[in-house]
């Protein structure tokens, strides 16, 4: 498979605590890659590196052959124009209508006239099942509709790749399943490279072509879904079968663990 992102020797520290430990992984182009793991494994930290919000202590992240860890902010902003991000809380601006939220990156990064922008906004909202909602405000929407609106904004500039941060968080099972279908549509119809950070096993089984599983800052597994399901590694079996941890943690241990996610 052609590689969209190559991660090599990535290490990250928060103070003296090592969060990512020599992470090496490849993300295939045109597929849906799930970054999987429990709380504190480092998956959210890895996502921040991939979209250029955090610099690692050491290592490389090659996107289309260019190392984004060495880029300054102006160079990184050019790369971000080819990325879309759906944040966990959708990150919509409450003072703007859905139409204006979706139009924001188009107005910021293009010189298109308003009539063209309005057509593009309607197209993006239609893509995510929100046709006719352009004049609604975020406060008037359900949690699932906000996620869809956030996805429409992430798609506004027709990115090469799109990142999802815990897309099912806070959603009921039916709404979460609908969002999974949208992620599948991006792959099947638009051949988009999608990177999904999640710990929702049901979603993983439904949407993933490729899986990178982290555990305590290390890559525990990378490969296709069939290989993950067939693995006899005890940590993977514990996660997939929802087996509880046997250890008992002190409050200090607990806060150290959650700081890594």
**What is residue 74's predicted lDDT score, i.e. its pLDDT?**
92
Q: Is residue 57 part of a domain?
A: yes
What was the pLDDT predicted at 171? Answer: 84
Question: According to the model, what pLDDT value does residue 239 have?
Answer: 87
Domain count, the chain: 1
How far apart are the C-alpha atoms of 177 and 174, rounded to whole Å? 5
DSSP string computed for 135-177: T--GGGS-HHHHHHHHHHHHTTT--SEEEEESTTTT--HHHHH
Tens digits of per-residue pLDDT, 123-149? 999 999 999 999 999 999 998 899 999
Name the pTM for this structure: 0.88
pLDDT at 259: 56
Looking at residue 87, its pLDDT comes to 87
- Is 32 a domain residue? yes
Taking the C-alpha atoms of residue 254 and residue 213, their distance in angstroms, rounded to an integer, is 21
Question: The domain containing residue 9 runs over which residues?
Answer: 1-82+203-261
d(CA 47, CA 197): 7
Number of Cβ atoms within 10 Å of the Cβ of 111: 6
Residue 21 lies in a domain: yes
In a domain, 98, yes or no: no
Q: Using DSSP, state whether 238 is helix, strand or coil.
A: helix
Does residue 246 form part of some domain? Answer: yes
- Counting as low any pLDDT under 50, the low residues of the chain are none
> What is the model's pLDDT at position 260?
52
Question: Which pLDDT value is given to residue 257?
Answer: 53
Q: 69 with 61: CB under 8 angstroms?
A: yes
Task: Report the chain's terminal Cα–Cα distance, integer Å.
Answer: 29
Sheet (strand 17-28) strand order: 17-28, 3-14, 58-63, 66-67
CATH number, domain at 26?
3.40.50.300
Beta bridge partners of 198: 36
What pLDDT is recorded for position 256? 56
Other Cβ atoms within 10 Å of 216 Cβ, number: 17
141 in a structural domain: no
What is the number of other CB atoms lying within 10 angstroms of the CB of residue 125? 25
Q: What is the pLDDT of residues 173-207, one digit of tens each?
A: 898 899 999 999 989 988 999 999 988 889 999 99
Residue 241 lies in a domain: yes
73 lies in some domain = yes
Cα–Cα distance measured from residue 25 to residue 23, given in angstroms and rounded to the nearest whole number: 7
Pairing assessment for the beta strands 193-198 and 32-36 based on DSSP bridges: parallel
């Amino acid at each position: 498979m052609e590689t969209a992102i190559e991660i090599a020797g990535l290490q990250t520290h928060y103070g003296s605590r090592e969060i990512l430990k020599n992470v090496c992984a490849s993300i295939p182009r045109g597929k849906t890659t799930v970054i999987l793991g429990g709380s504190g494994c480092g998956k959210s930290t890895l996502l921040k590196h991939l979209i250029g919000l955090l610099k690692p202590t050491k290592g490389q992240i090659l996107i289309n052959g260019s190392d984004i860890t060495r880029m300054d902010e102006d160079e990184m902003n050019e790369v971000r124009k080819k990325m879309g991000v759906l944040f966990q809380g959708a990150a919509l601006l409450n003072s703007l209508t859905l139409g204006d939220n979706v139009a924001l990156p188009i107005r910021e990064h293009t010189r298109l006239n308003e009539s063209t922008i309005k057509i593009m906004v309607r197209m993006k909202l239609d893509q995510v099942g929100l046709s006719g909602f352009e004049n609604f405000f975020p406060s008037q929407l359900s949690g699932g509709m906000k996620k869809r609106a956030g996805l429409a904004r992430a798609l506004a500039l027709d990115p090469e790749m799109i990142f999802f941060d815990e897309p099912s968080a806070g959603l009921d099972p039916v709404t979460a399943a609908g969002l999974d279908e949208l992620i599948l549509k991006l792959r099947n119809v638009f051949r988009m490279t999608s990177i999904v950070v999640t710990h929702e096993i049901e979603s993983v089984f439904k949407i993933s072509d490729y899986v990178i599983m982290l555990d305590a800052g290390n890559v525990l597994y990378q490969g296709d879904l069939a290989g993950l399901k067939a693995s006899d590694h005890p940590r993977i079996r514990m996660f997939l079968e929802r087996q509880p941890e046997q250890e008992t943690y002190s409050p200090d241990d607990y806060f150290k663990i959650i700081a890594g996610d």
